[in-house]
Amino acid sequence: MRIPGVVSFLIASLCLAGCSSTAGVDALDLQKPSNETTSSVIRPPAPIAAAPAARGNRAARAELAPMSDNGPRRPFGLAEEEETGVFAAPDVPDPQVPDVGGLPVEPAALVSPPKLLTRAAPAMLAGPLTRYGFRDAKPINFGKASPRRLAVHGVDVSRWQGNVNWDKLRAQGANFAYVKATDGGDHLDPMFMKNWRNADAAGLKRGAYHFFYWCRTAGEQADWFIRNVPRVEGALPPVIDVEWNGESSCKRRPSREKVLEKMQVFMDKLERHYGQRPIIYTAPDFYRDNLRGEFLDYPFWLRAVAQHPSKVYPGRKWLFWQYSGSGLSHGVTGRIDLNVFHGDERQWRAWAGGRQTVADAN
């Protein structure tokens, strides 16, 4: 009487094993959220139905992950000087900032070049850069400090840009792209993997960013980012996006000490995983409250859409400048964030992993 029961149990077990094996390393199985839910950003209805994304730390896996949420977007709590400041920057660059070819370039701005995991993959950098060709729905006169005078422009994207024609975007002047991957500890941008692959196929240098959620532990967020963002040779360093988000369901604003502690935990995990020091993206109000004088050995990506970063973030060296949230380009429906690299073409090629000079490329 017991044997038939055992046989039945074994048969049932084999059936279940067969069903589960077809899933393999299924993304949904890999991405079970913890019991702590994020619901980090209350967003308006979007044309693309998908779960919000989370931002992680430093590392990303080599295996493919499901699609993710946005890319660095316009912060909700802009500092007064940026939101209502004088939109025409002074005609003369900051006297304390050296002038390189008419462009204000701070000394040692290119801190912490990305360390590649094996060796440089220079093929993507061998061709000529595409030059600035964007338009702007709300153009700003930055005077002689205009970002248009810098050589290497790029964009950041998320699900809110919809289906991007990356070839057209590159032809318009995008040489690099930061793609929204995650936010919090359980949200993934539904367009992440599509944007990640297509930006690379179009010849842009690509990186991923994570929107940090202050109601979730830093370790969980780092693990979530690492789970969803591939670790690939030649990718730009990961980015931690730290802001005060007025539309978030999380209203917590930790102390400066706690903010710095959480950021450090997150960035340390990413750096160990990806072998690259993360870049810190921030906005004026958050910077004023938490980041003045901090993380001097980390590269910064600064939002300053009304004035040059030297005016909004005095004394802070920067690597990327997000100078517009109202850019217009072929290949994208609606507006897109515009960014520029702080250096010339030679510095870009050296920093981003190539070893050719401008002369070599020509």
Q: Distance between CA 239 and CA 280 in Å, rounded?
A: 6
Q: For residue 41, list its beta bridge partners.
A: 248
Which residues, other chains included, contact 174 with Cβ-Cβ below 8 Å and sequence gap of 6+?
A: 130, 153, 154, 155, 204, 329
- Residue 243 designated active-site: yes
Token look-up 């061998």 returns 126
Q: Distance between CA 113 and CA 109 in Å, rounded?
A: 10
Q: What H or E segment, with its residue span, contains residue 279?
A: strand 279-282
Which one-letter amino acid corresponds to residue 1?
Answer: M
From 173, 177, 225, 307, select the one nearest 61 (Cα to Cα): 225
Which residues, other chains included, contact 317 with Cβ-Cβ below 8 Å and sequence gap of 6+?
A: 106, 107, 108, 109, 111, 300
Secondary structure (DSSP) of 68-99? ----S---SS--HHHHSS-SS--SS--TTS-E
Which residues, other chains included, contact 245 with Cβ-Cβ below 8 Å and sequence gap of 6+?
A: 40, 41, 75, 76, 77, 211
User: Are 82 and 312 a contacting pair, CB within 8 Å?
Assistant: yes
Q: What share of the chain is helix, strand, coil (3-state, %, to 5)?
A: 30, 15, 55
Secondary structure letter of residue 315 according to DSSP: T
Q: For residue 100, list its beta bridge partners.
A: 103
Secondary structure letter of residue 143 according to DSSP: G
Q: Distance between CA 265 and CA 269 in Å, rounded?
A: 6
The pair of three-digit structure tokens given for residue 145, joined into one six-digit string:
């400090």
Catalytic residue among 82, 106, 220, 243: 243
Which one-letter amino acid corresponds to residue 13?
Answer: S
The pair of three-digit structure tokens given for residue 231, joined into one six-digit string:
């670790």
Q: Distance between CA 91 and CA 5 in Å, rounded?
A: 87
Q: Annotated active-site positions, please? A: 243
